Structure 1
Amino acid sequence: MPNTYQIGEVCQILAKDNPELRGKGGCWAIVSQVNDFSCTVRMWDGEYAVGLQHLKSFNYLPQECQQIQSLSDRLARIYSDSLEETVKSLLQSLGKLNRPYLTAVEEKLLNVLESEYGER
């Protein structure tokens, strides 16, 4: 079966029984590289190589993919290994959104994190 994913496409991670994807099930992921049997994808906390059986497209419209790309860029500017657990938990929950937009409250929370951690 050929790899039909496109760069910039937003997929959901299906962790199944893959130990490398533990805790990533349900996360959105943006395809950054298309290989024969896998894709390199960007998640809320970095880039991962993921086999095709662990990806499922959200079938978002191009504009919705751009909204997730923008969210991903914002999270990448905040994320680091040294963050407090509560901050990591919030980023992770934003990394599991199954819709391409933030609610007003999520936007406010992310703004707080950006003002606290964004300029490092």
Structure 2
Amino acid sequence: MIVMKSDGAFLTIGELSAELGVPQHILRYWESRFTQLRPLQRSGNRRYYRPADVALVRRIHQLLNVEGFTVRGAQKALAGVEEPAAEAVVAPSVSAPSPADATLIVRLQTIRDTLAAALS
């Protein structure tokens, strides 16, 4: 039986796990990797996720499982540090992509969006 809670209610690890479709041990792993994620822990180490924690877990899930980030990449994205753009890594002295590069970028973005839609 699924119990619907109000938007401001705390969620247990089991409830959040079921909502996202990820095992509970994955949520505990994310707690060890993302320092921003600190749910309340009550007696017996029972976890209660506040609305801000739930939003953060949803964002982590989006980054890792939908957008395909690595844990390190997701950590940087959440910290506001962006990975270097692919164009900068390939040709750091080039300020603007060539028309061929721009076409390739558009094709890659289309493929990424198609994959993300297929996964969701």
* Higher Cα Rg, which structure: 2
TM-score (ref. length: structure 1): 0.30
**Higher RCO by CA contacts (8 Å cutoff, separation 6 or greater):** 1
TM-score (ref. length: structure 2): 0.30
